[in-house]
Homo-oligomer: A and B are copies of this chain.
Amino acid sequence: MKTKDKIINESIKLFAENGFEGTSMASIAKQIGVTKPSLYAHYENKLALFESCLEKISNEQIEFTTKILKDPNLNTAEEKLFTLLKDCSLMVSEKKYSFYNRFYFLPPLELKEIIESKLEKAATMCDELIANIIKEAVNNGEMDEQLSVEEIMYSYKCLMDGVSCRLDTYNNFDSIWKVFWRGVKPL
């Protein structure tokens, strides 16, 4: 792997674990096995490096969500949405989704606008994909037509936020899913 790619990959992990201010250029360099100034040969400064991380994570998030929700092996909305919930949570342990969550939920004030602008596209696209699944499920009777798409959407996204901010507590998703599904299926 090229140095530039190593830098990005390790930076994502370190930023996810320690935050922006908690991650020093020295610690990134050490992790890769180069010296600090080498980083500046590939990225103008710390902020530029961080922005590249945001872009990579944003693209991966879209790719990941699309792959699951358009997977031909997953037939029902229930299968698709459950798999997405579970896999997002598993991604937290790979330090990728936790990067997304950390900076989405708790952006450092001075980076807030940059982060929002870089992650907005992923957030919008993923929301749209999920909304389409829900619409279809309401129409074909898999979910209760007495509920609006917005109501289901808010609930599902709340589950996603909940499970992804505290992984260890939710090693068993089945309970959470059971209650949610009782709530959205036709009575």
Query: Which residues of B sit under 8 angstroms from A102, Cβ to Cβ?
Result: 106
Give the distance in Å from the alpha carbon of A148 to the alpha carbon of B180 in the complex: 14
A175 touches B161 (CB 8 A): no
Number of copies of chain A assembled together: 2
Taking A22-B108, A180-B183 as contacts, is the C-beta distance between A175 and B162 under 8 angstroms? no
Q: Is the beta-carbon distance between A181 and B178 smaller than 8 angstroms? A: no
Kindly state whether residue A94 has any CB partner on chain B within 8 Å: no
Q: Which residues from B are CB-within-8-Å of A161?
A: 161-163, 165-166
In the complex, per-residue mask of A100-140: 1 if CB is within 8 Å of any chain B CB, else 0: 00100110110000000000000000000000000000000
> How many of chain A's residues touch chain B, expressed as a range?
35 or more
DSSP majority for the A interface? helix
A162: which B residues are within 8 A, CB to CB? 157-162, 165
Interface residues of A (CB under 8 A from B): 17-19, 21-22, 102, 105-106, 108-109, 147-148, 150-152, 154-155, 157-163, 165-166, 169-170, 172, 175-176, 178-184, 187
